[in-house]
Amino acid sequence: MNDFWSMGGYGGYVWSAYGLAVLVIGWNVVAAHRYWRRGEELARRRPAAGREMRP
């Protein structure tokens, strides 16, 4: 098991790479989702404002 984590001595490099991948993938998903949420928020407010002005 220890062999797995140390990766034949290259553990630092390998796990940094995989960890960074997790970070980048995570950021992408989270940022995309937040972007969509912001779009929802903005879209929700605008039509209501438009409706109020129309009789």
Partner 1 sequence: MARFTWFHKLASPPHCYAIAGRCLPWLAWPALVLIVIGMYGGLLRAPADYQQGEAFRIIYIHAPSAWLSLLGYTTMAVAAAVGLIWRMKLAHALAAATAPVGASFALLCLITGSLWGRPMWGAYWAWDARLTTELILLFLYLGYMALRASFDDVGRADRASAVLALVGVINIPIIHFSVYWWNSLHQGSTVLRAGGPAMPASMLWPLLVSFAGFTCLFATIVAIRLRGEILMRERQASWWSSMDSRGAMADE
Q: Which residues bind partner 1 (CB under 8 A)?
A: 4, 7-11, 13-14, 16-18, 20-21, 24-25, 27-29, 31-33, 35-40, 42-48, 50-51
- Extract the tokens encoding 6: 């140390």
Q: Could you tell me the smallest distance in angstroms from the CB atom of residue 40 to partner 1?
A: 6
Q: Please tell me the distance from the alpha carbon of residue 37 to that of residue 43, in angstroms, as a whole number.
A: 10
Task: Classify residue 41 as exposed, middle or buried by CB count within 10 Å of its CB (0-12, 13-18, 19+).
Answer: exposed
Q: Could you tell me the smallest distance in angstroms from the CB atom of residue 13 to partner 1?
A: 5
Q: Could you tell me the smallest distance in angstroms from the CB atom of residue 42 to partner 1?
A: 5
